[in-house]
Chain A
């Protein structure tokens, strides 16, 4: 039985053509791109091409606006810390409650250092209130950082509009577009976005390579100082093989953009409808009408996500969960809690995230596998009776909580 991989928001397999493109840069093309001789020069040319491939995918005006980094997290940190360093008199930040830890942990740390962070709330469908946002924009704010697409639910934020609003108030705007790049069309030259983060391993390039897009003219302070690589904006000898790979992956993503938004979306919808048609007390989290084409996040009430994943895994199906127990923390996903999803459902959320490698047969196998697993676990659940949730579950089962 072939395994089925539906965890592409966690990471993706490297496209075979991408592997092929990068391999020579471990062997004959080993030169340092900064060197003058021909060993280095050829690598330098390859990096230039990769930069242009990235530029094309995100519609940047200049290829020099692309800065290669070591990962999405580094891009996020660089963007925020740069804005604070460059504008020391501005001591506030605006972000959202549902960002990735790459942003949230940094913001919490900055609060300890005396910065004020405004966390925009979301409603039950994970949507922002732009009036609340407008009121917070002021000349005290160093940077706004809002993700383009949520990694757990796929919900899209109106970042282009929010960037316009920030720009009108003279505030810098950064977006963590790690989940969006390659899945939704992006044209930065017609936007007011100042900085944007990309992570290679989410779009079929290897792990450990990322990009920070930096609009020409936006004030910047590097995180790493040293050599003159990346025009002095990110020192350190370039990870040439991975940069070449990321370039190739961006070109692939560009040519699969339509496929992603038609075929992959159709598979996702088939999976979601197939499961919901058979499983009672299950619902989609986030904003179903406005989300990534590859992501669906379903809450199965009264059971726990890790248990679901273990049983899925036994059948060779890989997905992920927002339950506390899979995150290594004690809390269920902060995204689910921000949306006000009750504990008994938040713990039972399962994220299925597809890629262009998934097939209809795979999706049908998952549709067949899920209902019996849910039923099996509900049989063990104190909230579940013979044929459905017990009446008044909160009163009928009221454990003493620690």
Chain B
């Protein structure tokens, strides 16, 4: 069975605000065709202040779809519509102490229902611009459509490119076959053929690098991964190098979270590829208390 947090289970077993809301004046109905889940979000909005005075939901879906719906209604009650629209799907997941990667789409559905309800209230038509595909990278919850679009938009041609642009494949690496298949397909459309990179970069044997070259390569890897962490409101910095141990500090959104370990694993692997030797990446926490997950905007 899925590893659901206590909070997810609690919201599933005792959903808040479930059932029809007769005096609703903002209704959003969205579904995810691939997963079959569907959600109707009903809001009662005070026309004067545009404040949400009541919210309720009806959901056809799995445990985390029901929990995400329940959480969403709790989160947005009392907010103005503009405030509510700032609630991201990540916020819904964070509120529930995280969702399994396969289930992140449940939080996306919640966010979309919210957009649809607000559009409905404002007399606009809401259109979904997000498409869902089969989950490829389980470490970072990234699906095939996202990878394919990114490969196309940026003319990517290697697995490493995909890791750098989307993070997919940067964790346990088990999905590289799936990523290669997507690359092969898109490259074929461009009239090129997929060439697997040389079994990771040509590396110097252990101990052959000069100290300067070694530090340079370590810094290079850090610089390479920073953009993708920053996109997730995080960051990484080099603190110290002591033989085979490299100390880094993780910052921002995800310091101490479960994703940190995965990210570190991925970065450590890249370090090893770049250096051609075994190294260990150790996070140090100077500023953030250990285990604290900083909620953005909180």
Q: Residues of A with Cβ closer than 8 Å to B?
A: 302-307, 309-311, 313-314, 323-326, 328-332, 343-344, 346-347, 379-383, 397-402
Contacts and interface: CB of A to CB of B under 8 A. Distances in A.
Nearest to A309: B1
B34 to A, nearest CB: 4
A135 B102 CA distance: 41
Given A382-B58, A399-B30, 7 more contacts: A304-B61, A307-B61, A380-B58, A381-B58, A397-B38, A397-B40, A402-B108
Contacts of A402: 30-34, 108-109, 112, 128, 130-132
A385 B64 CA distance: 22
Given A304-B61, A310-B63, A328-B102, A380 B19 contact: yes
Given A306-B62, A314-B13, A343 B29 contact: no
Nearest to A314: B13
Contacts of A401: 30-33, 128
Interface in B129-145: 130-135
B116 interface: yes
Contact of A380 (B18, B34, B130): B18
A331 B37 CA distance: 11
6 contacts: A304-B61, A347-B60, A379-B18, A381-B59, A382-B38, A402-B108
Contacts of A343: 36
Given A330-B34, A402-B128, A397 B29 contact: yes
B138 to A, nearest CB: 9
Contact of A331 (B18, B34, B58): B34
Given A306-B63, A379-B18, A379-B19, A347 B116 contact: no
B33 A332 contact: no
Nearest to A330: B34
Nearest to B1: A313
A201 B265 CA distance: 35
Nearest to B112: A402
* Main SS at interface, chain B: mixed
Contacts, number: 113
A304 B29 contact: no
Given A400-B30, A401-B31, A332 B36 contact: yes
B15 interface: yes
B103 interface: yes
B68 to A, nearest CB: 12
Q: Top 3 closest A-B pairs, CB basis?
A: A325-B62, A399-B31, A306-B62
A402 B127 CA distance: 9
Given A397-B38, A400-B116, A330 B135 contact: yes
B102 A304 contact: no
A304 B65 contact: yes
Contacts of B108: 402
B30 A382 contact: no
Nearest to A311: B13
B39 interface: yes
Nearest to A347: B36
Interface string B108-121: 11001000100000
Given A324-B35, A329-B134, A401-B33, A302 B116 contact: no
A6 to B, nearest CB: 15
Contacts of A314: 13
B122 to A, nearest CB: 16
Contacts of A398: 29
A323 B40 CA distance: 20
B102 A323 contact: no
A335 B231 CA distance: 40
A400 B31 CA distance: 6
Nearest to A324: B35
Contact of A330 (B18, B29, B59, B134): B134
B29 A382 contact: yes
B126 interface: yes
Contacts of A304: 36-37, 60-62, 65
B128 A400 contact: yes
A329 B136 CA distance: 10
B59 A380 contact: yes
Nearest to B103: A325
Interface in B146-191: none
Contacts of A332: 36
Interface in B7-58: 9, 12-13, 15, 18-19, 29-40, 57-58
A319 to B, nearest CB: 12
Contacts of A330: 34-35, 105, 132-135
A313 B13 CA distance: 12
Nearest to A386: B20
A399 B40 contact: yes
A310 B62 CA distance: 9
A347 B62 CA distance: 9
A310 B64 CA distance: 11
A343 B37 CA distance: 10
Contacts of B36: 304, 323-324, 332, 343-344, 346-347
Contact of A307 (B40, B66, B109, B130): B66
A302 B133 CA distance: 23
Interface in B202-248: none
A380 B31 contact: no
Given A397-B29, A402-B130, A323 B58 contact: no
Nearest to A343: B36
Nearest to B109: A402
B157 to A, nearest CB: 20
A399 B66 contact: no
A123 B35 CA distance: 23
B13 A382 contact: no
Nearest to A382: B58
